[in-house]
Amino acid sequence: MSQSTRRGHTAGAFDIRVIIAALFGIYGVVITVMGLVATSAEDIAKAAGININLWSGIGMLIFAALFLLWARWRPIIVPETQGESSAE
């Protein structure tokens, strides 16, 4: 369990952080675009004067980018040897 003996490959696509980033990336793009092109004055008035689609979209894109960076910076290592990996 010490770090020097840790072998294995990175988890790649099935790192939950990448999946979360993917969903929020798509959500972010869709509603940012909606905020830019498909938001009427009526929609803005409804949301207390805020273009909430645009701002939420930008927020989600930033969030997705941060999660991707985190996953890049600290990838999950999948151990190649089976067995208990408890740290006792």
Partner 1 sequence: MHVLAQEELRIDAGAVDYLLLALYFVFVLGIGYLARRSVSSSLDFFLSGRSLPAWVTGLAFIAANLGAVEIMGMSANGAEYGMPTMHYFWVGAVPAMLFLGIVMMPFYYGSKVRSVPEFMLRRFGKPAHLVNGLSFALAQLLIAGINLFLLATVVNLLLGWPLWLSIILAAVIVLAYTGLGGLSAAIYNEVLQFFVIVAALLPLTIVGLTKVGGWQGLVSKMSAAGNANELSAWPGSELTGFANNALSAAGIVFGLGFVLAFGYWTTNFVEVQRAMASKSMSAAQRTPIIGAFPKLLIPFVVIIPGMIAAVSVQEMTRFKQTGEGNVDYNDALLLMMRDLLPNGILGIAIAGLLASFMAGMAANLSSFNTVFTYDIWQSYVVKDRPDEYYLSIGRWITVGATAAAVGTAFIAAGYSNLMDYLQSLFSLFNAPLFATFILGMFWKRMTPTAGWLGLVMGTVASLAVFVLSNVGVIELPGQGASFLGAGAAFVVDIVVSIAVSMVTRPKADAELVGLVYSLTPKATRTASTTGEDAGWYRRPGILAGIVLVITIVLNIIFA
CA dihedral 52, 56, 58, 59 (to 10 degrees): 140
Quick one: angle between helices 52-73 and 16-37, nearest 10?
160
Amino acid at 24: F
Residue 28 CB, nearest approach to partner 1 (Å): 10
Nearer to partner 1, 38 or 69 (CB): 38
Nearer to partner 1, 65 or 76 (CB): 76
Contact residues for partner 1, defined by CB under 8 A:
1-3, 13-14, 16, 19-20, 22-24, 26-27, 30-31, 34-35, 38-39, 43-44, 46-50, 52-53, 55-56, 60, 63, 76, 84-88
Q: List the structure tokens of 72.
A: 């890049």
Residue 44 CB, nearest approach to partner 1 (Å): 8
CA dist 76 and 88 (Å) reads 21
CA dist 69 and 29 (Å) reads 18
Residue 10 CB, nearest approach to partner 1 (Å): 14
